[in-house]
Structure 1
Amino acid sequence: MQIPRHEFPTRNALRILETRTKDFWDDVQDLRDEPSCFSNVLADAIGLFCRQCVVDPEADKVETWEACVAAMQVGSALFESARATTDAIECRIGHEMRTIRAGALPRAHAGNWLSAFWLACICREKKRMTELCQFPAAQLRQADGVFDEYIYHWVEALQAYWLKRPEFGDKLVAAVDGTDPGALRHAPRDGVLQIMYPPMNLLTQLTRGDQNKFNTELAKTLEWHKYYWTHDEDRERDTEGLVALGPLGVCCLAVQAGFTITVESEYLPKHLLEGAWLNEFPHITPARHPGI
């Protein structure tokens, strides 16, 4: 089954990509002294990755893989900075080791955690996934931002799934229940029901081992994703909608579990889904600053 991606302007795409890439690396330099920039840099990294997929929808170019890896590295560095016990950390972003100031806890919120985790799943970085899952959910509540309760249960469900903790089922049920419109206090209902809930449903099918149901629900998930990101002109022009990050992350978990994904879509770049770039850069796992 094929779910085509919605139309996105491609005029001057390469020129815009070149400019955004330069701006992103300039912003990465700012992390040396300003951990408060992390949320913006992570958002820019994801936007750059998604924009790269405009010109490379199957992610078969090394530039797309590098953009995905860089976004993952920024996400991981954010949470490294948040839990550091020294003044600085050293981590790799791109092909360089960088010194980054510690103290990003205000930016280490649940939304950024999900983005960082999905990126680690897509890159098959198991060590990073484990480290993210060991980040205390209680500390996410100390960060900036106001979130509904379901998102914390969802983080805890993913942490329990990956670390094989017994509370996984209860946390997943609590997360799903928390997406009920009547339980929401802050997040817009359409975003929760069409973007946040579907990966929970996919993880449910994965844990049940139901490959056919997984693919059926995946097709629905991408249709909802497409509907959400074409609801109005502003959303249509937002690069975030070009890749279904959460569903892609769960699909990568499913592929690792032996599932065959029968749904094809530019929302799920083929070579990222299949893990074709795995081990292309054997050095992408970061070195650590002593004492961290």
Structure 2
Amino acid sequence: MRIERHQVDEAAVSAAREGFANRIGGQVHSYSRAGLITATEWRLISEEFLDYLGALSLDTPDLHTPEAKAVLKDATEAAAGAITFAAYYPRCPFHVFLDYPNFGMSYDRKDPENADDTAHASIVLPQRWLDALCLAILSDKVARHGEAFFHTWQDMPAGAGYSAAELVDGFMAHLFGDIRDHDTPDPATAEQRLAAIDVALARIEDRDSEAALALHALRAVAAEDRAAFDSGLTALLQARPLTPTARPSSLLPLLPLALAALAHRTHGWTPSVDTDYLPHALVTNFEPPGRTTVTWPARVDRPTPALPLHPGSEAHFESSVQEAVNPSPDDPHAVAHLADALSRQTLLFQVRASQTPDVTDTQLADLRRASQIGAALFRIALAEPGTSVEVVIDGRTVAFPATRDDSTHPGRWHSALNFALITGVREDLAPLVLAGPTGSAADRSVYAAYRVALHDYFRAVDPAPATEKALYEAELAKGSGFPAPPVALLARLVDGDQDGFNLALLDALEAHRDHYSVADRPTDPDAAIDLDVLALACHARRRGWAINVESPYLPPRLLRAAERR
């Protein structure tokens, strides 16, 4: 059967959509400037994300978009932040991070005698607890935030005078076990879960209330009763009040969505009811359609816009690079200026790359110069202190004083290596292999293990252990706000797996595209091209491997040049 969604006030939809990326960023920073972000503010932030997600669902009812995925993730983290604040502040340290506005806040443990008790409300209302739990279910974050949910549930008075409180107990029974008298969750058998849900049901007087209908559907999931679940979910959706002036978030009822998600992820059930109230992406946590077969060559388009490059700015950048590669003999900051030139040359290449599907002669010159600058920096760093080093850039031989400082930090080594791999110039690669990523400074970034794995691979040391560590750390770094390095792509190179490399290449480019399709990231220079992926693709082509992915992210002219080297 089909259940149509109710109408939502158009003004509210427009307000939710308009300038959301800037608005949510301004909101979280405004809260942080006003002092400690408490449970109340985290809940309000979550509600803003949910209103925007509801507005997005009017354009894309199944919500299978990178934007929707990012918004749901942060709606969950903000709602869980409210629960975590109530559970731990000020007794324990914790951290809340939102990827979409790239904002986080850390909370330190405070001495109870000096803590501001007015900032800590340990009691969470059942309905707000349920909303946060439903979001955690949709995002598969129950395990991550389970302890905070458990502690705030324990602080909630039994019964609490709300039918929602019985529903809270039912969810706790299903997800954690009926354990109000214990300090930590204990596993529960299916029979114990059913018995606890039945107890919660018996305490609800209104058998037609939303809580009772939801508990019946939850019991059906626990009992593996598909027919009872389908009828219960349909009844729950049909009982929703239709209010035309409702907020856009009302288009995405969290309770039916969470129940549908539980049923799908536990038993593989797809809702039998046909309705936009249950977007497929939210029910499945953006489950990809799956690649049983790929038709090669595969295509990955670049949806981000061409970036503007004002002639005056372009001329200024070019001039500053030229000055850096042709320093005056008495310039005490010559090496620092050369390092800055590598960053400027990178930016010029990225912006120019955004404007064309293939590289131009100008962009090829950008790459050659960037590769030479990067190699020069590390030749300078490897030289004996007190000596002078001659390097060749743009056909000119220039002397620089031997310098090992922050000019050759791990990030700059990473950039220099990428350019050397893209151009394929062996003499540019050699000093990078000799220096390594941490020759001048320690690396505490999320890319540290990946850089070690790259270095091991190119210096002919068994890269497998470092690659395994990089894969593990890349998984831990998810949600850090940074795009993950293409460790899986490097792993296929290490294994000599050409077919797996092409599949990983397709995944890496799609992940890059999706990451930079969110919020205001399309205007980021990094959106135009992933230098890490391009570097590995050029290296693989130089090894004789076929590259079966076509994309503006992989300029064909560069791949053809790699084939000929």
TM-score greater than 0.5 by the shorter chain: yes
Q: 2:468 is aligned with what amino acid?
A: V
Q: Is 1:257 matched with 2:543?
A: yes
In structure 2, the CA distance between the partners of 1:137 and 1:10, relative to structure 1 (3 Å rule), is: closer
Paired residue for 1:290? none
Paired residue for 1:40? 340
1:8–1:236 Cα contact (<8 Å) kept = yes
How far residue 94 of structure 1 moved from its aligned partner, in angstroms, is 2.0
Paired residue for 1:189? 480
Paired residue for 2:493? 206
SS of 1:134's equivalent? helix
1-structure distance, mates of 2:544, 2:339: 34
> In structure 1, which of residues 153, 159, 164 is the aligned counterpart of residue 449 of structure 2?
153
How far residue 249 of structure 1 moved from its aligned partner, in angstroms, is 0.8
Q: Is 1:271 matched with 2:557?
A: yes
Paired residue for 1:289? none
**More deviation, 131-140/209-218:** 131-140
Q: CA-atom RMSD, angstroms? A: 2.7
> In structure 2, which of residues 502, 525, 541 is the aligned counterpart of residue 215 of structure 1?
502
CA deviation map 1:68-127 (0-9, x unaligned): 011111111111122221443221222322222331422211111111111101111123
How far residue 38 of structure 1 moved from its aligned partner, in angstroms, is 4.0
> In structure 2, which of residues 470, 487, 492 is the aligned counterpart of residue 175 of structure 1?
470
2-structure distance, mates of 1:40, 1:188: 29
How far residue 215 of structure 1 moved from its aligned partner, in angstroms, is 1.5
In structure 2, the CA distance between the partners of 1:99 and 1:130, relative to structure 1 (3 Å rule), is: closer
In structure 2, the CA distance between the partners of 1:177 and 1:266, relative to structure 1 (3 Å rule), is: same
**Looking at both structures, which has the greater relative contact order when contacts are Cα pairs under 8 Å and sequence separation is at least 6?**
1
How far residue 210 of structure 1 moved from its aligned partner, in angstroms, is 2.5
Q: 2:365 is aligned with what amino acid?
A: E
Report the TM-score, using the length of structure 2 for normalisation: 0.43
2-structure distance, mates of 1:120, 1:239: 20
In structure 2, the CA distance between the partners of 1:31 and 1:264, relative to structure 1 (3 Å rule), is: farther
Tell me which structure has the larger Cα radius of gyration: 2
**More deviation, 157-166/67-76:** 157-166
Q: 2:449 is aligned with what amino acid?
A: H
1:87–1:101 Cα contact (<8 Å) kept = yes
> In structure 1, which of residues 59, 67, 75 is the aligned counterpart of residue 374 of structure 2?
75
SS of 2:549's equivalent? coil
Which runs of 5 or more structure 2 residues have no equivalent in the other structure?
Answer: 1-297
Percent identity of paired positions between Structure 1 and Structure 2 = 23
1:110–1:151 Cα contact (<8 Å) kept = no
2-structure distance, mates of 1:93, 1:110: 22
2-structure distance, mates of 1:208, 1:264: 23
Q: Is 1:63 matched with 2:357?
A: no
2:299–2:549 Cα contact (<8 Å) kept = yes
Q: 1:274 is aligned with what amino acid?
A: R
CA deviation map 1:120-179 (0-9, x unaligned): 01111123323211114552435xxx623x63432232222122223x111111222222
Q: 1:173 is aligned with what amino acid?
A: E
Paired residue for 2:59? none
Q: Is 1:101 matched with 2:426?
A: no
> In structure 2, which of residues 416, 419, 423 is the aligned counterpart of residue 119 of structure 1?
419
2:449–2:469 Cα contact (<8 Å) kept = yes
SS of 1:92's equivalent? strand
In structure 2, the CA distance between the partners of 1:28 and 1:228, relative to structure 1 (3 Å rule), is: farther
2:389–2:402 Cα contact (<8 Å) kept = yes
Report the TM-score, using the length of structure 1 for normalisation: 0.79
> In structure 1, which of residues 145, 159, 163 is the aligned counterpart of residue 459 of structure 2?
163
How far residue 10 of structure 1 moved from its aligned partner, in angstroms, is 5.2
Paired residue for 1:242? 528
How far residue 47 of structure 1 moved from its aligned partner, in angstroms, is 0.8
Paired residue for 2:304? 7
Q: 2:472 is aligned with what amino acid?
A: D
1:243–1:269 Cα contact (<8 Å) kept = no
Q: 2:473 is aligned with what amino acid?
A: G
1-structure distance, mates of 2:553, 2:328: 30
1:120–1:129 Cα contact (<8 Å) kept = yes
In structure 2, the CA distance between the partners of 1:276 and 1:108, relative to structure 1 (3 Å rule), is: closer
> In structure 1, which of residues 87, 91, 106 is the aligned counterpart of residue 391 of structure 2?
91
How far residue 188 of structure 1 moved from its aligned partner, in angstroms, is 6.6
2-structure distance, mates of 1:152, 1:91: 28
